[in-house]
C-alpha cells in the first residue's frame, strides 16, 4: 500500500517535470515565442538543469541536444527510483533497454502534447477565435509546423473549414498505435516509464 502511494507521487511529479522539459525542447524546435509568459515559466523551471548541460553538450543542426540528454536522464532517474520502489532494482543494471524505454515514453508524451495542443486550438477557435491568450498562442505555435504543410496541400474548404486538425489527430492516433507496438516489442514496463500510460 505504502509502495503504491509512493510510486504514484514519484511517478506524477517526475512525469510533470518531464513534460515541462519536453515542452522546452518542443518550444525551441518550433521556434515559439519565448516572451510568452507560459514559455518564460518553462524556461525558468528547466534552466537550472539545462544551463550546466549546455556547457558540455552543444546544439546539433539547430536541435537542442542538451534538452534531449536531459529528457533521457530524467527517464533513467525515474526508472531507477520507480523500480526500487516496486522492489525490482535489478532492472537498472542494463541501461540500454532503459534508454529505449525512455525514448518510447518521451515519444508518447510528445504525441500527447501535440494532441492536447490540437484540442486547445480547436476549442479556442470556436470559443475565442481572436483571442491572444498565452496558452492558446503557444498551443497554436506548437501545432503550426504540423498544420502548415497540410494547409498548403488542402486549403480550408470554402475558405473557412480547415480540415487539417482532423488529419493531424488521425496522424497522431496512428503514431500512438506505432509507439504502442514498439513498446510491446521491447517489453516496456508501463509502471517504470514516464509517459507510457
pLDDT confidence of residue 108: 92
Q: Is residue 45 part of a domain?
A: yes
Q: Residue 89's pLDDT is what?
A: 65
Question: How does residue 197 score in pLDDT terms, banded at 50, 70 and 90?
Answer: low
pLDDT of amino acid 161: 75
Q: Is the pLDDT of residue 11 over 70?
A: yes
What pLDDT is attached to residue 178?
A: 92
Structural domain including 55 reads 2-186
| pLDDT at res. 90 | 63
Average pLDDT over residues 25-48: 89
Residue 191 placed within a domain: no
What is the per-residue pLDDT for 100?
Answer: 85
Query: In this structure, how many other beta carbons lie within 10 angstroms of the beta carbon of residue 1?
Result: 5
As a whole number, mean pLDDT of residues 83-95 equals 72
Give domain status of residue 140, yes or no: yes
| DSSP string for residues in 73-130 | HHHHHHHHHHHHHTT-GGGGG-HHHHHHHHHHHHHHHHHHHHHHHHHHHHHHHHH-TT
Tell me, yes or no, whether 91 lies in a domain. Answer: yes
Residue with cell string 500527447: 112
Return mean pLDDT, the chain. Answer: 85
pLDDT of 85: 85
Asked whether the predicted pLDDT for residue 137 surpasses 90, the reply is no
Please check whether residue 192 lies inside any domain of the structure. Answer: no
Per the domain annotation, does 197 fall within a domain? no
Q: Where are the alpha helices (DSSP H) in the chain?
A: 2-29, 37-56, 65-85, 95-127, 134-153, 164-186
Is the pLDDT score of 124 beyond 90? no
Q: What is the pTM of this model?
A: 0.88
> In the structure, what pLDDT confidence band is assigned to residue 56 with cuts at 50, 70 and 90?
confident
User: Is residue 50 classed as helix, strand or coil in its secondary structure?
Assistant: helix
Residue 196 lies in a domain: no
Residue 91 pLDDT exceeds 70? no
Domain count, the chain: 1
Q: Which of 173, 171, 178, 144 is nearest to 26 (CA)?
A: 144
Domain contains 64 = yes
Whether 132 has a pLDDT exceeding 90, the answer reads no
Instruction: Give the residue, 7 or 116, on which the prediction is more confident.
Output: 116
Amino acid at each position: 500500500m505504502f509502495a503504491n502511494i509512493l510510486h504514484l507521487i514519484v511517478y506524477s511529479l517526475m512525469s510533470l517535470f518531464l513534460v515541462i522539459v519536453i515542452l522546452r525542447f518542443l518550444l525551441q524546435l518550433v521556434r515559439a515565442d519565448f516572451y510568452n509568459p507560459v514559455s518564460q515559466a518553462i524556461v525558468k523551471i528547466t534552466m537550472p538543469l539545462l544551463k550546466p548541460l549546455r556547457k558540455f553538450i552543444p546544439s546539433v543542426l539547430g536541435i537542442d541536444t542538451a534538452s534531449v540528454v536531459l529528457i533521457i536522464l530524467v527517464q533513467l532517474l525515474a526508472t531507477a527510483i520507480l523500480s526500487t520502489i516496486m522492489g525490482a532494482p535489478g532492472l537498472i543494471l542494463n541501461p540500454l533497454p532503459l534508454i529505449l524505454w525512455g525514448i518510447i515514453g518521451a515519444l508518447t508524451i510528445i504525441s500527447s502534447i501535440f494532441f492536447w495542443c490540437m484540442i486547445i486550438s480547436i476549442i479556442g477557435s470556436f470559443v475565442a477565435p481572436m483571442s491572444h491568450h498565452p496558452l492558446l498562442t503557444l498551443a497554436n505555435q506548437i501545432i503550426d509546423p504540423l498544420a502548415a504543410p497540410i494547409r498548403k496541400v488542402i486549403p480550408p474548404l470554402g475558405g473557412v473549414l480547415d480540415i487539417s486538425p482532423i488529419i493531424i489527430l488521425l496522424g497522431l492516433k496512428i503514431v500512438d498505435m506505432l509507439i504502442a507496438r514498439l513498446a510491446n516489442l521491447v517489453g516496456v514496463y508501463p509502471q517504470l516509464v514516464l509517459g507510457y500510460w
